[in-house]
Each structure stands twice: as C-alpha cells, then as structure tokens.
Amino acid sequence: MELIKDLPDRLLFAIPKKGRLHSACLSLLEGADIQFHRKNRLDIALVKNLPIALVFLPAGDIAKFVGEGNVDLGITGQDMVAEAEAQDKVTEILELGFGKCRLCVQVPVKNGAASVDDLVGKRIATSFEGISKNFFDEVDAKVAAANGTVGTDAQKKTELVFVSGSVEAACALGLADGIVDLVESGETMQAAGLHDIVTILSSQAVLIASKKPSHPDLVQTIAGRIKGVIAAQKYVYINYNVERKHLKEASLITPGRQAPTVSPLENPEWVAVSSMVLKHNVAQTMDDLEAIGARDILLFAIQNCRV
C-alpha cells in the first residue's frame, strides 16, 4: 500500500476493498463523477478530478479509521459501525439503500433452541464478537435475575466462539449450538438448516464522516453528489397534461419531493405538470393519472440530480 503520509493534501475516502458492498460502492462513485484508476495490488487510488484519495479497506475496519484516524469519509455497513462501537465517533450522513440485511441469532430448525433464553450457557459462533457479547450479556443477566442466580456459581454464561467465515456451518459441524450472523435473502441460512429466532439489528450501507474532517467543504460536496445519485436511482421524472379542474387531484397523485411544477398551456383549461415520482410505483401512478383524464403522460429517466 502506498504511504498515506506521502500523499498530497487530499480528502481520504475509505471504500470496502471487497465483499458484498464493493461493487455497489464503485457504481456509486461513478455516478458521483469521482474518477480514479486503481493500479493492480494497490489499495490507494488518487481521484483525477477532485483532491481525494480513495483508500480501499476491509469494511469492518472503515468505521474505526473514520472515527479514530485521519480518514474523512467512508462507506460501510451499519452493522460494522456497531461492531466497531463507533456510533458516537462518526457522523452517519446518508443511508445508501443497498447492502440491506439483518444481524440475527440463528439456530438449527431441528432440535434447536426455541428462544434466546434457551441459549444461555451454550456456545454461539459469530464473527460479530462485540455486538454478540453485549447482546448475550444482557440475556445472561436477565435469565440469572429470573432464576435468582445472579453472582452465584450457578449463574450461567453464554460462550462466544469467534469464526471469521462460514459461520452458518458451525452448528452442523458441532462447533456451536447457535450462531449470530447476517441474513440477506435467507437462502444460505435455510440451506444450512437454520432459522432466525431474533433480530439483533437491521443494517444497510451508509456514508459516514469523521467528527472533525480535514476538508469539511469537500465532505459536503461529495455527500451532495452521492445523495443525488441515490435519488436518481429511486425516482423518475414524469410529465403530463391535465385539465385545470383536475389539478388538485393530479397534485395528490404526483406531489413530488417538494411540490409539482405546473405550467400554463395555450388552452387555458389545461396545464402541464411535471414531478419526481418513485420508480417502484410508477405504473400505478400512470394508471391513476389516466383515470382522472391526464393525457400525454411521459416518463424520463434521471441520470443525476440534486435534491
């Protein structure tokens, strides 16, 4: 890795170097016009059109570097921020909408525990040691209080077993009675013969910033660009003509982010309306507009925007 101390005065932006967030982050950078070329086997890339250096790090390390180091910005999962206990050390600027998952306690479907209380005193495999310890410390204390064993030799403690990968195999291979791991689609969990009994936290990718960034203005610029890219992915631009007497109804159907844009036409009884609408619901929106008599309904993709 090139030495960061030898870099020019640039904003440091940490990006996951691999894993489930990596490709989505690269697409986000492209949409924000952050141009760079990463040389083979190097984990630092200088941005060509902005005074930024991209630092490619394991996603689990990014919150610590942003919260305690000299890194100004980073993209990682909310689960990684919690595992690093960095919630109070970084500023969460923006949820990015990808990498959504849940951190769950999972047990075998056959002969597994019915609740987390049944796992007290047993073995739990996980790669999330910090979160799991905090969670099961509370479970252990609650069960001990209920049984009247607090502070006695009879008080049971749940054992955590650290596994860096293939956590879902721990139960089948006899290493643990349950696991704490991420669930996205649930296919891997089901294939391993597991099911989740409680969700510890929900997570998605987030843009985080240092509490004391060295380039605060540039941090705001990049945050605005990325926010625009995210909005462009969620919305389309709709334009249509509608009779003025139906304008109130039309505005309820397409309220826009702030308000729809209404323009007069040569026919005083009609107006042209344009608005940003959510992409996932656009077919129903067009149906509703047509039902109130709207005509010439057109959709336009949004390449980028500022919102």
195-206 confidence digits (pLDDT tens): 999 999 999 999
Q: Quick one: 9 and 93 in the same domain?
A: yes
Q: Quick one: 283 and 209 in the same domain?
A: no
- Beta strand segments in the chain, E: 11-16, 44-46, 52-57, 73-77, 90-95, 101-108, 123-126, 159-162, 178-183, 194-203, 205-210, 235-243, 261-264, 270-278, 295-301
| pLDDT of 13 over the 80 cut | yes
| pLDDT of 111 over the 90 cut | no
pLDDT of residue 39: 85
244-295 confidence digits (pLDDT tens): 999 999 999 999 989 999 999 999 999 999 999 999 999 999 999 999 999 9
* CATH assignment at residue 132: 3.40.190.10
Cβ(19)–Cβ(205) below 8 Å: no
Q: Quick one: 93 and 108 in the same domain?
A: no
The answer to the question of residue 116 being in a domain is yes
Q: What are residue 53's DSSP bridge partners?
A: 12, 46
Q: Quick one: 210 and 268 in the same domain?
A: no
The answer to the question of residue 288 being in a domain is yes
Q: Quick one: 136 and 165 in the same domain?
A: yes
21-44 confidence digits (pLDDT tens): 999 999 999 999 999 998 887 899
Number of domains in the chain: 3
49-83 confidence digits (pLDDT tens): 999 999 999 999 999 999 999 999 999 999 999 99
Q: Quick one: 145 and 283 in the same domain?
A: no
Q: Which of 158, 181, 202 is the last residue of a domain?
A: 202
The answer to the question of residue 95 being in a domain is yes
- 229: enclosing H helix or E strand: helix 216-234
pLDDT of residue 131: 97
Q: Which of 179, 202, 225 is the last residue of a domain?
A: 202
| pLDDT of 6 over the 60 cut | no
Select the more confidently predicted residue: 235 or 5: 235
| pLDDT of 1 over the 50 cut | no
Cβ(164)–Cβ(179) below 8 Å: no
Q: Quick one: 140 and 210 in the same domain?
A: no
Report d(CA 15, CA 1) in Å as an integer: 14
142-187 confidence digits (pLDDT tens): 999 998 888 888 888 999 999 988 899 999 999 999 999 999 989 9
Cβ(12)–Cβ(1) below 8 Å: no
Using DSSP bridges, classify how beta strands 44-46 and 194-203 pair: parallel, antiparallel or unpaired.
unpaired
Q: Quick one: 123 and 139 in the same domain?
A: yes
User: Which domain covers residue 67, as residue numbers?
Assistant: 4-99+204-214
Contacts of 126 (CB under 8 A, 6+ apart): 132, 160, 161, 162, 163, 167, 179, 180, 181
Residue count of the chain: 307
* CATH assignment at residue 282: 3.30.70.120
The answer to the question of residue 306 being in a domain is no
Report d(CA 35, CA 29) in Å as an integer: 8
pLDDT of residue 150: 83
Report d(CA 256, CA 238) in Å as an integer: 10
Q: Quick one: 147 and 191 in the same domain?
A: yes
> Residue 36 to residues 39, 71, 181, 184: CA-CA distances in angstroms?
10, 18, 34, 30
Sheet containing strand 73-77, edge to edge, reads 44-46, 52-57, 11-16, 73-77, 205-210, 90-95
The answer to the question of residue 64 being in a domain is yes
- Provide the mean pLDDT of the chain: 93
Cβ(5)–Cβ(54) below 8 Å: no
Q: Which of 150, 178, 202 is the last residue of a domain?
A: 202
The answer to the question of residue 307 being in a domain is no
Report the 3 state secondary structure along 130-146: HHHHHHHHHHHHHHHHH
Q: Quick one: 293 and 273 in the same domain?
A: yes
Cβ(48)–Cβ(33) below 8 Å: no
pLDDT of residue 272: 98
Q: What percentage of the chain reaches a pLDDT higher than 90?
A: 86
Q: Quick one: 128 and 177 in the same domain?
A: yes
- Beta strand segments in 111-266, E: 123-126, 159-162, 178-183, 194-203, 205-210, 235-243, 261-264
Cβ(275)–Cβ(208) below 8 Å: no
The answer to the question of residue 219 being in a domain is no
Q: Quick one: 87 and 142 in the same domain?
A: no
The answer to the question of residue 86 being in a domain is yes
Measured over the CA atoms of residue 157, residue 181, residue 102 and residue 79, the dihedral's sign is: positive
